[in-house]
Structure 1
Amino acid sequence: MLKSLCPKRFSGYLGLAAWVLLIDQISKHWIEAVFEMHQIKTIIPGFFNLTLAYNPGAAFSFLADAGGWQRHFFTGLALVVSAVIVFLLKKHQAEQRYATALALILGGALGNAIDRMIFGHVIDFIQVHYQSIWFYPAFNIADSAICIGAALMVIDSFKKDKQANHE
């Protein structure tokens, strides 16, 4: 009976990745349709804005001014990583926290890869800040899913270490 549940579990994690991808793409297309470049809409004064920004680089605009090659490099990297994640997801589908982390990272990686393939940059729109003193770089739903997935992986590794020490 357990073996018959495994394909459903795997497809559920792929469904979570697809859900992240869908929400990410819908939110990016909505923000592009409604906002002008760098327009700011305050949601929570002194803390949270929506804004439209393009990032041709990686996290924190790393390599944004590298001349264009980074678009293909980061797209290829995301696709290779996504293939590895699908393999790991299939292999570790019974490990709920780890598989959820992989699914979130997969959906986020594909969401940003689609942006790079279609537009040559990633669409960012979430801006967190403290008053006018400190601004975190703009990000998107895909970035959030990747970060949450990475945090879950760290938590999972601590839980596994704790279990291994008890055994």
Structure 2
Amino acid sequence: MREGLIYAVALVALVLDQASKYAVIHVMQLDRRMSIDVLPPLLNFRYGENRGINFGLFQEAGDASRWILIGLSLAICLGVWIWLRRSGGKVWMRISAGLLIGGALGNVVDRLLYGYVLDFLNMSCCGIDNPFVFNVADIFIFAGAIGLILFDGRGAKKAP
């Protein structure tokens, strides 16, 4: 079953994302402390509630945007799953799809439970102070999207 790998990777990504959020909120109490320097300036935990999309865009759009973003995320997950199911996809394509789907579902869970996406990772380097925060799901979404592009194989030329 080709979809089995997609399901397994998506489940692992979802669990890792939610476990990381549980740890920083319930164990490290980041929501009360607001800031924890882990390996400054490279890695810091900063509490953030993202009610919009990337970089905090559309934060003020209200509760309707929450449900629109949930629907859009689920539609993208379904679209990627259907695309891979039809195309078959090599192993790395299925892994990439699983990462993207698991990450997207992690952020959907946040929106359903809290009304926003919990962000907490902040990385800065080389004198540049990055004001943005993100989460483990965002890493999986980004890695999955890049993987889908890199491992698509449509650009590969077949030997004569």
Q: How would you bin the TM-score normalised by the shorter chain?
A: 0.7 to 0.9
Structure 1 position 115 matched with structure 2 position 110: yes
TM-score (norm 2): 0.88
With over 3 angstroms needed to count, the CA separation of the structure-2 counterparts of 1:45 and 1:87, relative to structure 1, is same
Structure 1 position 47 matched with structure 2 position 9: no
* Correspondence for 2:19: 26
* Correspondence for 1:130: 125
* Correspondence for 2:56: 61
* Correspondence for 1:17: 10
* Correspondence for 1:163: 157
Equivalent pair of 2:5/2:98 in contact (CA under 8 Å)? no
Structure 1 position 86 matched with structure 2 position 66: no
With over 3 angstroms needed to count, the CA separation of the structure-2 counterparts of 1:163 and 1:96, relative to structure 1, is farther
140-149 or 127-136: bigger deviation: 127-136
The SS at the match of 2:60 is: coil
Kindly state the Cα deviation for residue 161 of structure 1 after the two structures are TM-superposed: 1.1
Kindly state the Cα deviation for residue 78 of structure 1 after the two structures are TM-superposed: 0.9
Kindly state the Cα deviation for residue 146 of structure 1 after the two structures are TM-superposed: 0.5
Number of residues of Structure 1 aligned to a counterpart in Structure 2: 158
Whole-angstrom distance in 1 between the partners of 2:144 and 2:105? 14
* Correspondence for 2:97: 102
Structure 1 stretches of 5 or more lacking a match?
1-6
Q: Which amino acid aligns with 2:141?
A: I
Q: Which amino acid aligns with 1:155?
A: L
Q: CA RMSD in A?
A: 1.9
With over 3 angstroms needed to count, the CA separation of the structure-2 counterparts of 1:57 and 1:116, relative to structure 1, is same
Kindly state the Cα deviation for residue 43 of structure 1 after the two structures are TM-superposed: 1.5
Over the matched positions of the two proteins, sequence identity in percent amounts to: 25
TM-score (norm 1): 0.85
The SS at the match of 1:163 is: coil
Kindly state the Cα deviation for residue 51 of structure 1 after the two structures are TM-superposed: 2.0
Q: Which amino acid aligns with 2:73?
A: A
